[in-house]
Structure 1
Amino acid sequence: MPADLNPIDNAKFVAARRAVDFVEDGMKLGLGTGSTAAWMVRSLAERVRDEGLRVTCVATSRRTAELAVGLGLDVRTLDEVKWLDLTIDGADEFDTHLNLIKGGGAALLQEKIVATASDQMIVIADAAKEVAQLGAFPLPVEVIPFGWRTTKALVEETLVSMDVIGREVTLRMTGDQPLRTDGQNHILDLHLNRIGNPRQLSLVLNQIPGVVENGLFIDICDTVVVGHPDGRVQVRDINSGRFDEGRVALPPVENIFAGQD
């Protein structure tokens, strides 16, 4: 791991490293997508290498699969594995009820499928991702390319009756072309500022023709691991109400993280 990480990366790293402590030998694991999840994949690979853990992994995106395979992890498809013991993933926002906004990395559909096919979901995040109310981060909605402008208009019309502040909807681009997800769909980003009723909004959005899935993860996350730049880590379990705090030491440069982005 580079010695000159910025404070946010330090926080992401310690959260990821602590979350990997929940992994046990023989587990079937879902691997999330995003910068924090990438630290988790590297930490998991280090445990597999050093402790001889046997784990079977299902990736939530092509880029996570490529990283995991490159680090020597056993990656299978969800159809092969069928059900998972644990999924560890990041989040763009989470609230006190551990409801999430995900999809900043454009992998929300596969992330939600994998998370709901797991006995447990652990979210890893830096402290800045915790919010009193969801919505400051734009809510991603995955839509099929066919008729996406009509779908966008229907989403905008639906937002008029929802408990939100903003209603701007934008098509996510990559360069001058619409972004394509792993499923070859588009992403609409909903700039809502505040979501008063996430459960209602999630249900209503998914009824709109053309919408594949939205980035609201309601009642899916069981535990959140929050990292801080100074190495402190907090673990909150929504089911037991447990709250633990500890510290993760930053490792020396000479380890599995050397040479990684």
Structure 2
Amino acid sequence: MSGTEALIEAAKKRAAYAAVDEFIRDGMKVGVGSGSTVVYVVERLVQRKNEEGLNITCIPTSFQSLNLINDGGLNLGDLNRHAPLDVSIDGADECDEKLNLIKGAALTLEKINVFNSKLFVVVADYRKESKVLGQKWKKGVPIEVLPLAWRAVSNYIVEHLHGKPILRMAVAKAGPVVTDNGNFILDVDFGEMADPLKVLTDVNRIPGVLETGLFVDMVEKAFFGTADGGYVTVDRKGERKVFQ
């Protein structure tokens, strides 16, 4: 790991710890997302459990977060028993100035958790922050689709929404990536999105689409680790604070 990469990881860790310390209280029901920053979120939750007896129930969005919760000895819950959740914490692939997101991990389960949470908090690094979605993130908006409909959905997106879809392929095996729900992922390049809500609405109207990785008007506060090892916070009112 290079010096720059080490600083970024340290900054992500600081931002994750700050998010947990600000928003997590004893007795809460907490949605735990997926991705690299969530490792630090769970790490801090485990520390607080061991140091102060923090007693929370964690609801995972993927096998990754489920394993982190179990390995850390945290209480494991599920939405059927514990909704609504007090807060969900997750990462992002890109976050615009209005705190709209592109997310591409376990997007359907993540969105279900977020929708059923009183608050949604994002932890990422400075490279994920942009003015509009699609400005920095060039891998497209992930769309989870039923396997039997992926070609039809792709054709519709090209013809009517002028997107450029690519079926996400697996790395360690032949064939497409299969989600935890048994579906396929289309990564769709819509270019820069000045109106992500319209894109979200148009895509969700297509039969065969289960969910999209656009999270619009859902974030309460974002924590971004910075290149110098500090972090920045931005809330839904647009207030920005810098921490060294």
Using structure 1 for the length normalisation, give the TM-score. 0.86
* 2:242 maps to which of 208, 224, 245: 245
What are the residue-to-residue correspondences of 1:191-202 with 2, within 5 Å?
191-202=189-200
Q: Report what 1:251 is aligned to.
A: none
| CA–CA separation in structure 1 for the residues paired with 2:68 and 2:175 | 26
What is the Cα deviation at residue 49 of structure 1?
A: 1.3
Which amino acid is 2:63 matched to?
A: R
What are the residue-to-residue correspondences of 1:9-20 with 2, within 5 Å?
9-20=9-20
| CA–CA separation in structure 1 for the residues paired with 2:18 and 2:5 | 18
User: Alignment identity in percent?
Assistant: 40
What are the residue-to-residue correspondences of 1:129-144 with 2, within 5 Å?
129-135=128-134, 136-137=136-137, 138-144=140-146
* 1:223 maps to which of 221, 224, 238: 221
| CA–CA separation in structure 1 for the residues paired with 2:35 and 2:241 | 25
* 1:209 maps to which of 207, 210, 213: 207
User: Partner of 2:85: helix, strand, or coil?
Assistant: coil
Change (3 A) 1:159 1:96: same
What is the Cα deviation at residue 9 of structure 1?
A: 1.4
| CA–CA separation in structure 2 for the residues paired with 1:216 and 1:191 | 12
What are the residue-to-residue correspondences of 1:157-168 with 2, within 5 Å?
157-160=159-162, 167-168=163-164
What is the Cα deviation at residue 96 of structure 1?
A: 0.9
Q: Report what 2:185 is aligned to.
A: 187
Instruction: Please state if 1:7 is matched with 2:4.
Output: no
Gapped regions of structure 2 (runs ≥ 5): none
| CA–CA separation in structure 1 for the residues paired with 2:239 and 2:189 | 33
Q: Report what 1:44 is aligned to.
A: 45
Contact 2:8–2:229 under 8 Å retained in 1 = no
Q: Report what 1:255 is aligned to.
A: none
Which amino acid is 2:114 matched to?
A: A
Contact 1:10–1:229 under 8 Å retained in 2 = no
Instruction: Please state if 1:110 is matched with 2:106.
Output: no
What is the Cα deviation at residue 147 of structure 1?
A: 2.6
Contact 2:7–2:229 under 8 Å retained in 1 = no
What is the Cα deviation at residue 246 of structure 1?
A: 2.4
Change (3 A) 1:152 1:233: same
User: Partner of 1:202: helix, strand, or coil?
Assistant: helix
* 1:170 maps to which of 156, 166, 171: 166
| CA–CA separation in structure 2 for the residues paired with 1:50 and 1:178 | 43
User: Partner of 1:230: helix, strand, or coil?
Assistant: coil
Contact 2:4–2:227 under 8 Å retained in 1 = no
User: Partner of 1:226: helix, strand, or coil?
Assistant: strand
What is the Cα deviation at residue 5 of structure 1?
A: 6.1
Q: Report what 2:147 is aligned to.
A: 145
User: Partner of 1:47: helix, strand, or coil?
Assistant: helix
| CA–CA separation in structure 1 for the residues paired with 2:240 and 2:192 | 27
Cα RMSD for the two superposed structures: 1.6
Higher helix share: 2
Q: Report what 1:70 is aligned to.
A: 71
Which amino acid is 2:14 matched to?
A: V
Contact 2:157–2:164 under 8 Å retained in 1 = no
Q: Report what 1:163 is aligned to.
A: none
Instruction: Please state if 1:156 is matched with 2:158.
Output: yes
Which amino acid is 2:213 matched to?
A: G
| CA–CA separation in structure 2 for the residues paired with 1:122 and 1:101 | 14
